């Protein structure tokens, strides 16, 4: 047996109390309590944005709770997200499930497509797509903005009746639009 295998270091186990999903910046963490035991971590985070100002989201690592908007706002400011996360942590009884498994690229592409499909539902108008539209998915997606953009460009090629791309009005980027369902004959 070689000495390198005998003394090889095992990778450090990631801790939900310090974990940051790829593509996000975690700005606050709250821990729930389940009786005498520590409960799940609730993250307050922002992600790569494309609107000039940051918007925030919250996600519980013990249950399915996600928040990207409040009842009176379409985007969360940091204080609003922190208030929602704190309220959730105080009432959530879920145990910490650990860090969610990162999806493979095909599963991550399906998360992107599902979010775009949800933007298409219930509307007869085109919907401009922003990176902030993916905030609720970032903990599960665990991918940076470039991955999302790449998958959207692929959908533009594969499904031009679903998603289109065009240059931004400033000419320095690409703007994506989810198209409404085609009219039925």
**pLDDT in the model for residue 120:** 87
Asked whether the beta carbons of 28 and 44 are under 8 A apart, the reply is yes
Domains of the chain in start order, with CATH, are: 24-91 (no CATH), 105-178 (1.10.10)
**Cβ-contact 150, 176 below 8 angstroms:** no
> 18-68 pLDDT, tens per residue?
999 998 999 999 999 877 778 899 999 998 666 556 889 999 999 999 999
Of the listed ranges 9-18, 98-107, 124-133, the least confidently predicted one is 9-18
34 Cβ neighbours under 8 A, 6+ residues apart: 93, 94, 95
Give dist(CA 118, CA 106) in Å, integer.
18
For β-strands 66-67 and 127-129, DSSP reports them as: unpaired
Backbone CA torsion sign across 93, 45, 68, 177: negative
Mean pLDDT, range 141-155, rounded to an integer: 94
- pTM (2 d.p.): 0.82
Res 41: pLDDT: 95
Q: Name the pLDDT band for 10 (thresholds 50, 70, 90).
A: very low
Q: How many whole angstroms separate alpha carbon 129 and alpha carbon 49?
A: 12
| Adjacent-strand bridge partners of 28 | 44
């Amino acid at each position: 047996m070689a000495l390198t295998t005998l003394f090889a270091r095992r990778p450090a186990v990631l801790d939900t109390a310090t974990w940051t999903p790829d593509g996000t910046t975690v700005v606050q963490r709250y821990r729930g309590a389940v009786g005498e035991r520590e409960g799940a971590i609730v993250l307050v985070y922002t992600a790569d944005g494309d609107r000039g100002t940051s918007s925030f989201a919250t996600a519980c690592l013990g249950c399915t709770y996600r928040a990207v908007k409040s009842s009176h706002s379409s985007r969360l400011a940091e204080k609003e997200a922190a208030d929602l996360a704190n309220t959730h942590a105080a009432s959530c009884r879920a145990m910490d499930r650990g860090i969610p498994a990162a999806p493979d690229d095909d599963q991550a592409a399906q998360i992107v497509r599902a979010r775009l499909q949800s933007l298409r539902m219930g509307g007869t108008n085109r919907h401009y797509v922003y990176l902030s539209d993916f905030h609720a998915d970032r903990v599960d997606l665990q991918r940076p903005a470039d991955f999302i953009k790449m998958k959207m460009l692929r959908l533009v090629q594969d499904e031009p009746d679903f998603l289109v791309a065009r240059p931004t009005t400033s000419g320095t980027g690409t703007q994506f639009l989810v198209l409404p369902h085609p009219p039925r004959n």
